[in-house]
Amino acid sequence: MINKKVRQILHILSSIFMLFGVLLVVPLVMSIVLGEGRAVYQGYILPIFISLILGYIFHKMEDENQKIDISTGMMICSLGWFFISLLGALPFYIILDKSFLDAFFEAVSGFTTTGITVITEISLMPLSVIFWRSFIQWLGGLGILTFFLFITFRSESEIWQLFSAETHKFDTSRPVPNFNRSIQILWSIYIFFTLLQTTLLSFLGVSFFDSLTHSFTTVSTGGFSRYDSSIAHFAEAGYASYIYIEYVVIFFMLMGGLNFLVHYKVFQGSIKEMFFDEETREYWKIFLGAVIIIFLAGIFMQEQINLPLIEERIRSTLFQVASIITTTGYQTEHIGSQYFPEISRIIFLLLMLIGGCVGSTSGGVKVIRVKILKKLFYKELKRPYLPHRAVFPLTINREQVASKEVLRTAGMFFGWLSLILLGGMITALFSHLDALQSLSGMFSAVSNIGPFYFSVSEMQELSPVIKITYIIGMLAGRLEIIPVLILFRKATWK
């Protein structure tokens, strides 16, 4: 007998299953139009059938409009992402003839906008599969914010706080009180950026298909590319405008890493929000600081210095720092190559950990948490020099941060680091990778970024134990750690 909590969860997930089944029709129609063959069609028909059937069955379960409590809300988000990834893996499994674990890994990486891949020779895949691979990242990018808003709306409570850990920024991803209007605003901005980037890339000579799929994975800060060499392909293929293509991608990666509430306010005419919001200001400081250090260290490595070399260094550094801090994961130069100085490897790991802003499509612990922890550290430095009863509150944007939020942020940060270290140790134990490579893999998974300090071919050959660890890491990082970890507690299911 299924208990009330499970019935409630499945009833709410039913609409997600049905919507997912409808969305799968898009690559199915594309494969039919392109004449990709029955084997490809079946890769979409089966998950469509399963999604719609499950959606129908779960919808019949009574919900009784019960209020969603905190643990139930977390379970809905975690199980929703898990089951959708399972269904999203079927096209990869059936069409590409991959093991189901590799197909599931690719789907989780897509929906969580991580971008780690276990597939090579991507450009040889059917176009509908390439489209699906990019499309799931686009859905996952803003889909997670939409999902959290939906759960918050259904619960009529502040469940969102447990996912984002900053109460004073609760409205970050809810521009207006009305739920439907909030969703409309967020998706309008998201679609606008996607179409604008598609138009600009097409204008620069990129095919419409490549422009669209790369726009899907740029604005969502996902990083899946049609090409094994990522964005470096356009230079390697001899595109005359490859420099401008890279600058366009840099711009839209940075926009994806910003809080979408900031975008909303900018569109309303408040351009100053792009620079005066405290989290946004910290975001720009971290970005520019990393660019300057890596650029100067790279220049010192050069035996000859000329203007073309300086421009190339500036562009490649801007590109890679933007890609890492926004957790997009595109590459024009491999982050583990000799092109970048040794110090950059440490900086890249730090940027992976930090990630983008709250309310963005980026992963990582988020800039606001780093800002809170930095202020907490400065506060403790001042404490010995102040009277015993002195009170000096921690503030963000001139608003006091509640002590429970500070504690939650510290706890979340500890959980984040613990998960990375545990995954790094498991990687080192079950592989031949060295310590830095092992850590970089789990950094990449938990921070939802993609690049790491070893090759894709080595990633393909990793033990199933490591791949399962990375799958848990990707889901935990995308869902803010706690919602995934509570699934492993018996009390959650009672």
Asked whether the predicted pLDDT for residue 174 surpasses 60, the reply is no
127-148 pLDDT, tens per residue? 999 999 999 999 998 876 676 6
The H-or-E segment that residue 274 falls in is helix 273-276
Contacts of 139 (CB under 8 A, 6+ apart): 23, 111
| Four-residue CA torsion sign, 202, 206, 212, 214 | negative
Q: Residue 130's pLDDT is what? A: 95
Q: Residue 4's pLDDT is what? A: 74
Q: Where are the alpha helices (DSSP H) in 1-158?
A: 4-23, 25-33, 38-59, 70-95, 100-111, 127-155
Asked whether the predicted pLDDT for residue 173 surpasses 70, the reply is no
Residue 371: alpha-carbon gap to chain centroid: 20
Q: Where are the beta strands (DSSP E) in 139-201?
A: none
Beta bridge partners of 399: 396
Dist. CA 343–CA 109, nearest whole Å: 28
Q: Coil, helix or strand for 396?
A: strand
Dist. CA 86–CA 82, nearest whole Å: 6
353-374 pLDDT, tens per residue? 999 998 888 989 999 999 999 9
Residue 340 has phi, psi (to 5 degrees) of -95, 140
The H-or-E segment that residue 318 falls in is helix 307-325
Mean pLDDT, to the nearest integer, of 229-236?
Answer: 95
The single-letter code of the amino acid at 312 is: E
Dist. CA 290–CA 285, nearest whole Å: 8
Q: Coil, helix or strand for 239?
A: coil
The single-letter code of the amino acid at 414 is: F
15-56 pLDDT, tens per residue? 889 989 999 999 999 999 999 988 899 999 999 999 999 999
The single-letter code of the amino acid at 166 is: E
195-216 pLDDT, tens per residue? 999 999 999 999 999 999 999 9
387-431 pLDDT, tens per residue? 777 677 788 877 888 788 888 888 889 989 999 999 999 999 999
Q: Residue 428's pLDDT is what? A: 95
Tokens 């799931």 belong to 136
Asked whether the predicted pLDDT for residue 302 surpasses 90, the reply is no
